[in-house]
Amino acid sequence: MQSKLSILIGCGLLLANVAAGGQAKAGAGKISDGIVKVGVITDLSGLYSDLSGQGSIIAAQMAVNEFGGKVLGAPIQIVSADHQNKADIAANKARQWFDTQQVDVIVDGVNSAAGLAVSKVANEKHRIFIDSGAGSTRFTNEDCNPYTIHYAYDTYATGSVTGKAVVQHGGTTWFFITADYAFGKSLQQDTTTAINGVGGKVLGSVLAPLNAPDFSSYLLQAQGSGAKVIGLANAGGDTINSIKAASEFGINKKQTLAGLLVFITDIHALGLQVTQGMYVADGFYWDLNDATRKFGKAFMAKANKMPTMVQAAVYSSTLEYLRAVQAAGTDDADTVMRKLKEMTLNDAFVKNGKIRADGRMVHDFYLFQVKSPGESKGDWDFYKLVATVPGDQAFQPLSASRCPMIKK
């Protein structure tokens, strides 16, 4: 028979263990399921895979590694999926991640139709979505919600910066070849507003399907318009194929091509001989400063290419999300989102960035001109800086927002 003393000691140890277990659970409760999961939803197989794709997954993992692999003592895990540029696949994957895999935040979201579909699911499930890959201004206007951040760029920034610069350099009349979905239409509309605002004129436009196999008929319509500038309101493989076709037909010798969303990977694929002299609006370039060069070279070592604006923004958004979780002391979406909107964002992608009430992350934008082959000092040395446009001038002003969350 146990003595009363041994029973008391045993009870004391049991109570101590229960208390310790309670404290452990309370600590673990800061992270809802003991792990922080970052979902990278992207294009791994289509026309945007070079500017996002596997490079976005690498960029997100670089952020995790830089952060130390854990936040609030919990491990950080990257999961990824290919949405195949289809809105239904993107929405279904986001719902599955949130419902059954406890994904805390989704990043990238290249392709506006796919990104907007994920945004709606994020709002429904009260989880965070930080879109870096899609460009439609609908994210911060009619389709804004409390759980979505539009991070890297939008069609207002790229269209207005490029459109104004080209008109001011003599490109006063325009014809658009436009991708036939939300992104392309937004890009044409926002660029048109910028062109009209500085005295230019749009003579016409034509819609081209996503991933069009042949751009010759669209380019012939643009040629027939007599416009000085052919505005390419598309991206990725469609932009590359448009520029290639224009070069083959000799159209670019008589009319100026304006790529309204051109990525450094596009320039690399086409070569400086074809792209020299083009104006490019971008939110990131690897050779801007010491921080961008350090990140660019580290990315190059893993991906065998320099990062695009989208990939650099995936790194940044993942890193800043983790910093917000750390600062908030929890992965609760509402608490983390409040913290993100309080923070000033600083990393290799953004300096003094702020997230507005409509979800727009405001940061400086840049106008570059593509170097000639003789000016370039080596592979990936493509751009010379023409102008730095402050974020409050590059992005749509909050006063003009159509976001229902904004009180006017």
Residues 47 and 176 in one domain: no
User: What's the pLDDT score for residue 277?
Assistant: 87
- Predicted confidence band of residue 253 (pLDDT cuts 50, 70, 90): confident
**Average pLDDT of the segment spanning 139-164:** 96
In this structure, are residues 334 and 126 in contact, taking their beta carbons and an 8 Å threshold? yes
User: Does the residue 58 lie in any domain?
Assistant: yes
Residues 318 and 385 in one domain: no
Higher local confidence (pLDDT), 3 or 228: 228
**Is it the case that residue 9 has pLDDT exceeding 80?**
no
Residue 259 domain boundaries: 156-283+365-394
- Predicted confidence band of residue 252 (pLDDT cuts 50, 70, 90): confident
Residues 304 and 278 in one domain: no
CATH number at residue 123: 3.40.50.2300
Give the C-alpha separation, 299 to 61, whole Å.
11
Lowest mean pLDDT among 125-134, 268-277, 375-384: 268-277
User: Does the residue 23 lie in any domain?
Assistant: no
Give the tokens for residue 29. Answer: 């409760």
In one-letter notation, the amino acid at residue 264 is: I
User: How many separate domains does the chain show?
Assistant: 2
User: Does the residue 11 lie in any domain?
Assistant: no
Residues 255 and 332 in one domain: no
User: What's the pLDDT score for residue 234?
Assistant: 94
The tens digit of pLDDT for each residue in 50-96 reads 999 999 999 999 999 999 999 999 999 999 999 999 999 999 999 99
Higher local confidence (pLDDT), 13 or 45: 45
pTM of the model: 0.89
User: Does the residue 24 lie in any domain?
Assistant: no
Across all residues in the chain, what is the average pLDDT?
Answer: 92
Give the C-alpha separation, 309 to 44, whole Å.
17
Percentage of the chain lying above the pLDDT 70 cut: 93
Residues 141 and 270 in one domain: no
User: What's the pLDDT score for residue 408?
Assistant: 62
Residues 174 and 274 in one domain: yes
Full 3-state SS string of 77-123: EEEEEECCCCHHHHHHHHHHHHHHCCCCEEEECCCHHHHHHHHHHHH
Give the C-alpha separation, 313 to 340, whole Å.
15
Give the C-alpha separation, 354 to 341, whole Å.
7
Residues 190 and 249 in one domain: yes
In this structure, are residues 257 and 232 in contact, taking their beta carbons and an 8 Å threshold? yes
User: What's the pLDDT score for residue 5?
Assistant: 38
Residues 122 and 211 in one domain: no
Residues 114 and 187 in one domain: no
User: What's the pLDDT score for residue 130?
Assistant: 98
DSSP code for 31: S
User: Does the residue 381 lie in any domain?
Assistant: yes
